[in-house]
Chain A
Amino acid sequence: MNRRSRIPCSIRLLLRFLLPLSEREYFLGDLEESCALSRGPDRKASRGHGWLHEVAGSLVLRFGHRHHHKLQSDNQEGEGDGMFREFLNDLRFGIRTMRRSPGFATVAILTLALGIGATTAIFSVVNGVLLTSVPYPEPERIVRIRECNLTYGLPSFSVSPMNFSDWKTRSESFDFMTAYTTRRPAYTGGEYPENLLVYTVMEDFLELFGAELALGRGFTPAEFEPDNEQVAILRYGFWQRAFAGKPDVIGDSIILDSVVYTVIGVTDRNWQPINEVDLILPLRPEPRWASNRHEHWLTSIARLKPGITQEQAQSELSNIAATLESEYPDFNTGWDVRVSSLADNLIGGLRPQLLILLAAVGLLLLIACVNVANMMLARALVRGSEIAIRMAVGARRGRIIRQLLAESVLLSFFGAALGIGLAWLGIEIFRAGSSSVSSPP
């Protein structure tokens, strides 16, 4: 029997590697026969086909072979192709392995859960506080303006209404500049008397914060003038609570400290002011303001014009403050202005602490991962004989690695699931313990 092959050795080896075992003998036999009868690839080489063509064909066969398994599995189990079925088998085996050693599984899952839970909880807080703490359009342009008088030992203080009025008139760095203060008027229209938290605001307040209204309209300039009808805009929550979400609430009256206000609007459900107020009222100038710049009680917020930096605004307002100091030496001597971003103002000195906490829990997660990796390494040593047996009965290296990866995926999945639960619990604890953090000082 002539055993000398006409198929080049390299091609034969390549085809042996590519061809599925069930078809290998017949395919190579056919190829050999084609060459022997001068009907094979060496004949076709002159026509531009040849061995490369046949190797490409064997690739098609290999792909087709996998599809053949898919057909069979479709009819038998409906579990998809071979690789996915193998992965499912690996997962099943992984679960059985975990059940055989519950101590290892419990400790590994708990370690991962603690690491993942702590990191997720702290990152959520940091994300909420540092990264997305100011829920207004273009928050980087919103600044808080305060007065300061180092002679009196006041590095940051509220704003005098008349000084605010002069800043607004003379400055050019801002699209909007507004001021507000909070009040606690008595409300007796509900089931029981209560003190509401109310903003009294100057013009442009709603515009500056990009407040949208669910019903009605905002304030008109006339409504900031004395002696006009008193009007109020309700917060969505208060509208639901006090008026049961009454759709035709516009035009209704509400009595605060015995003064009747007409409801002209309801803020959008998603609009979030700095404080949890119930109502927004217009702040109307009073004659006594003009005669006394000593009274500092306003909180001033402004939106920088596009392209204007905080430093430019600070410089302009300091110049105005210096002018006011010379114009009103009795009231303004030693008073300057401090401009700071609203985000920094709300967070205060929390930023470094939060970042350190985030780094700490990041390290905690790293330690948890290293611990679990160590445990898995130790376990791999114990399972050495099991792996050796599996390789002896034909498991390939890649197959063993896939199995171990599937077990790791299972541990990570359970650890992450428990970790998310712990993170949720942690966030709730943070929320309960820090309800006052969002209020400005």
Chain B
Amino acid sequence: MTMPEKYSNKGPGHPGEFEIMVMLAILRLGPDAYGVTIREELEQETSRTITLGTIYKSLSRLEAKGYLHTRTSEPTAVRGGRRKKLYHVSVTGLRAVNRSLSDLWSLTRGLDLGWETS
């Protein structure tokens, strides 16, 4: 008996909670998503203190799973003459985010969690 593709352990699997947050931050930032801006976006929206190392770990994993594409910018003085690595979410990444959020949404249906809809 074969497992449905959705739940199979083969392939990159489901993104974790923090990985979803990182991908959502990248989607919100558009073309200017790199380490500094992603961290600021997450810290502002989630009230968490996040190190660059944590961000880069997730970015590295997401890239390895094929959820992110990257390109590099030109070096800038403010960065000590170093380049930026800019990220954008791939089609696979978009599908993964959609699937995970859809699953979460399905699970919350019928629950009264005290949310206030805007």
Task: Please give, as numbers and ranges, the residues of chain B lying within 8 Å of A7 by CB-CB distance.
Answer: 80
Q: Is A1 an interface residue (CB 8 A)?
A: yes
Q: Is A23 an interface residue (CB 8 A)?
A: yes
How far apart sit A39 and B37, CA to CA, in the bound complex (Å)? 11
Interface residues on B, range: 20 to 34
How far apart sit A171 and B64, CA to CA, in the bound complex (Å)? 84
Could you tell me the distance in whole angstroms from the C-beta of A1 to the nearest C-beta in chain B? 4
Contact pattern, B 53-72, Cβ under 8 Å of A = 1, otherwise 0: 11011101100110000001
Q: Is A176 an interface residue (CB 8 A)?
A: no
Could you tell me the distance in whole angstroms from the C-beta of B65 to the nearest C-beta in chain A? 7
Contact pattern, B 77-103, Cβ under 8 Å of A = 1, otherwise 0: 111111111000000000000000000
Q: Is A59 an interface residue (CB 8 A)?
A: yes
Could you tell me the distance in whole angstroms from the C-beta of A85 to the nearest C-beta in chain B? 16
**CB <8 Å contact, A34 and B83:** no
Task: Please give, as numbers and ranges, the residues of chain B lying within 8 Å of A54 by CB-CB distance.
Answer: 51-53
Task: Please give, as numbers and ranges, the residues of chain A lying within 8 Å of B54 by CB-CB distance.
Answer: 57, 60-61
Task: Please give, as numbers and ranges, the residues of chain B lying within 8 Å of A61 by CB-CB distance.
Answer: 52-54, 56-57, 60
How far apart sit A72 and B11, CA to CA, in the bound complex (Å)? 10
| Interface SS majority for chain B | helix
Could you tell me the distance in whole angstroms from the C-beta of B22 to the nearest C-beta in chain A? 12
B64 contact from A1, A49, A60, A71, Cβ within 8 A: A71
A40-67 residues with Cβ-Cβ distance < 8 A to B are: 44, 49, 53-54, 56-61, 63-65, 67
| A25-33, A266-274, A329-337, A395-403 - interface stretch | A25-33
**CB <8 Å contact, A36 and B60:** no
Could you tell me the distance in whole angstroms from the C-beta of A70 to the nearest C-beta in chain B? 9
How far apart sit A30 and B49, CA to CA, in the bound complex (Å)? 16
Could you tell me the distance in whole angstroms from the C-beta of B29 to the nearest C-beta in chain A? 14
B51 contact from A2, A53, A67, Cβ within 8 A: A53
Q: How many A-B residue pairs have CB under 8 A?
A: 105
**CB <8 Å contact, A27 and B52:** yes
Q: Nearest B residue to A69 by beta-carbon distance?
A: B64
Q: Is A246 an interface residue (CB 8 A)?
A: no
Task: Please give, as numbers and ranges, the residues of chain A lying within 8 Å of B65 by CB-CB distance.
Answer: 71
Q: Is A92 an interface residue (CB 8 A)?
A: no
Given A33-B78, A49-B49, A56-B51, answer yes or no on A25-B57 (Cβ-Cβ < 8 Å). no
Task: Please give, as numbers and ranges, the residues of chain B lying within 8 Å of A56 by CB-CB distance.
Answer: 51, 53
How far apart sit A25 and B83, CA to CA, in the bound complex (Å)? 7
Task: Please give, as numbers and ranges, the residues of chain A lying within 8 Å of B75 by CB-CB distance.
Answer: 1
Task: Please give, as numbers and ranges, the residues of chain A lying within 8 Å of B79 by CB-CB distance.
Answer: 29-30, 32-33, 36
Given A34-B36, A57-B51, A71-B65, answer yes or no on A23-B80 (Cβ-Cβ < 8 Å). no
Given A54-B51, A57-B51, answer yes or no on A26-B84 (Cβ-Cβ < 8 Å). yes
Q: Is A3 an interface residue (CB 8 A)?
A: yes
Q: Given known contacts A26-B72, A53-B51, what 18 new A-B pairs fall within 8 Å (CB)?
A: A1-B77, A2-B78, A5-B80, A25-B83, A28-B82, A29-B80, A30-B34, A32-B78, A32-B79, A34-B39, A37-B36, A44-B49, A54-B51, A54-B52, A57-B53, A60-B54, A63-B57, A71-B64
Complex A-B: 22 CB contacts under 8 Å? A3-B77, A23-B56, A23-B60, A25-B82, A25-B83, A26-B82, A28-B82, A29-B82, A30-B35, A30-B39, A31-B52, A32-B80, A34-B36, A54-B52, A57-B51, A60-B53, A61-B54, A61-B57, A61-B60, A63-B57, A64-B60, A65-B60
Closest 5 CB pairs of A and B: A57-B53, A57-B51, A29-B82, A64-B57, A30-B35
